[in-house]
Chains A and B, each alone.
Chain A
Amino acid sequence: MNTVIPDVALIDNSDERAPLVLVLDCSGSMQDENKIQLLNEGLKALAADLKADPIAARCGRVLVISLGGDSNVEIMGDWTDAMDFTPPDLLAGGLTPLGAAMRCALDEVESQKRQMRTAGVSYKRPIIMLLSDGESTDEWRQVAAECKSAESAHKVNIMAIGIGDQANKETLGQFSNKGALSLSGLKFKELFIWLSRSIRAVSRAPAGGTVQLNPVDSWAQLST
C-alpha cells in the first residue's frame, strides 16, 4: 500500500521573526589591536552561520547600528532577513555615544514591532547586543535605566559586552538587568557564532517554552 501522499506542497506560510539589533562600537580605539577588522570578520561569520541554518535564515531579522565615526550613531541599512544579511564594512574612528546608540536601538525595536504587528507577522522577543571597548562619551544614564525597564517589561533582551581592559564594564552593566559580560581576548568570531546559535535556538523555540541559550564560555571571560 502506498504510504506517501503525492504532490503535497510543503511550504512555510508562517512569518515568525526573531529580531536582532547589533549596537557596535566603532570609535577610534577600535583601530587598536586590529579590533575593527576582527569585528568585521565576526559579522561575516554571523551572516554565514545564520544562512547555513534554514530556519534561522528565514526567521532571523537583523539591524546593525554603529557608533563612532563622523555621524556618531548610524543605522547601517535597513532591517534585513538573515538570509539576505550582508554585513557592513565597519571603519573605526570618532567618539563613543553609548546613550544615543542604545536610544536608537530601543526606538528601532519598537518601530519594527509596530510594523510587524501591522503586517500580521508574529515575532519572538527581540535581542539587542551592545559591544563596546570604551567609555561612553555622552549622557547614558537615563537611556540605560530605560533599557533595564524595557527588559523588565519583556520588551527586549539586552546583552552588554565589554571588549578588552579599557571597556567600562560598570557603565555597560547598567544597560541590562543581567549586567555586562567581557569578551575573552578578541574572540569576536566565537562570540558571533554563539550569537547565531542563540538566534537558531530562539527561532525554534516552541510556544510557551523558555529558550535555553548555550553557555557563553566559548567567548566570555568569566573571571573578573
Chain B
Amino acid sequence: MWRVFCASATGQRNLEQGAAGQDSSHYVVTADVLVATVCDGAGSVPEGRTGSDFIARALADDLASTVHADPSLCEVQADGCARLEATILSTIDAVRTRLADLAASRELALYDFSCTLVGCVASPRGGCFFQIGDGFAIQQAANGDSALSHPENGEYADETYFVTDENWKDHLRLTPLPAPERGCVIGLMSDGTAPFAVNRARSGFFRPFIDPIAAFLREATAPNGNEALRNLLESRRACEISSDDKTLLLAFVL
C-alpha cells in the first residue's frame, strides 16, 4: 500500500558550528496504516536532538501499535475523526510524560528537550495530520487537491511552539485526512525544507519541485531513493535557500 522515502540534511548553520542536525524522523507501516513523524529540535536548548529523536520514534511506534490494534480508529466520519484525534492527543501526552521522566533522570527540564512535531496517521479509511509548531504536512491527491497542516509561529518567523511547552495542547493542531487514493503523495517536512518544497501561496507542494521527485522515486529502490533525496537536500542550491536542517519524508500510495 505504501512506499516511503525519507532523508535529512544537517543545515549549514549547524555544520559551521560543528553541531549535529536537530531534525529526526520515523515511520511505521503496519498492514495498510502509515504512521510517520518529523521533529525539529530547538537549537537553543542542550538536548534538542535527543528530544526530537525521542518524540519522533516513541510517538510513531506507540500510535502505530494502537491503531493496528483497532483499525476502525482511522475511519473518518462526517463529523471528522474524533476517536483518532483523542488517541493522538493521549499518545502525545503519554510520550511527553516519558520524556519528562527521562529529563528528570538526567536532572534536566523537559524544556531542555524542546522540539516541534509534525506527523500523520494515514490509511485507506482516512487519517489525520497532527502538528505542534513549525514544519509542514501535505497530502496531495492525484488531481492535485491538497490537504495541509501549516506551521504555527509566534509573531516572528524565528519563534515557534514545542511539544515540550506547558501549553502544548493549545498549539496541537489536528487535520482530518480523506482516504488517499492511488497516485496520492503525503509529505512531512521540517521548516528548513518548506521554503522550496511548498508553493508560494502555501496551498500545496511546489509542483516543479515535487513532480520530478515523485517521478524519480516511483521508479527507485528504497536505498537509492533515500540517497537521491538526501543529495537533493544537501545540494548547494538547497543550502543557499535555507541554512537550517532539512528533512523530507514522502509516502506514495501504490
Contacts and interface: CB of A to CB of B under 8 A. Distances in A.
Interface stretch (A10-18, A132-140, A168-176): A10-18
A125 B156 CA distance: 6
Interface stretch (B100-108, B117-125, B180-188, B223-231): B223-231
Given A5-B229, A12-B241, A120-B202, A208 B157 contact: no
A19 B130 CA distance: 32
Interface string A164-198: 00000000000000000000000000000000000
B216 A5 contact: yes
**Which interface class (under 10, 10 to 19, 20 to 34, 35 or more) fits B?**
35 or more
B235 A10 contact: yes
B240 to A, nearest CB: 5
Most buried by B among A6, A11, A124, A211: A11
Interface string A12-31: 11111000000000000000
A40 B206 CA distance: 42
B11 to A, nearest CB: 7
B216 to A, nearest CB: 5
Contact of B196 (A1, A6, A12): A12
Contacts of B40: 207
Interface stretch (B28-36, B61-69, B158-166, B170-178): B158-166
Interface in B232-251: 232, 235, 237-238, 240-245
A202 B153 CA distance: 16
Interface of A: 1-16, 54-55, 120, 122-125, 154, 202, 204-211
Given A12-B195, A14-B198, A207-B160, 10 more contacts: A6-B216, A9-B208, A12-B196, A12-B241, A13-B195, A13-B198, A55-B241, A122-B153, A206-B158, A206-B191
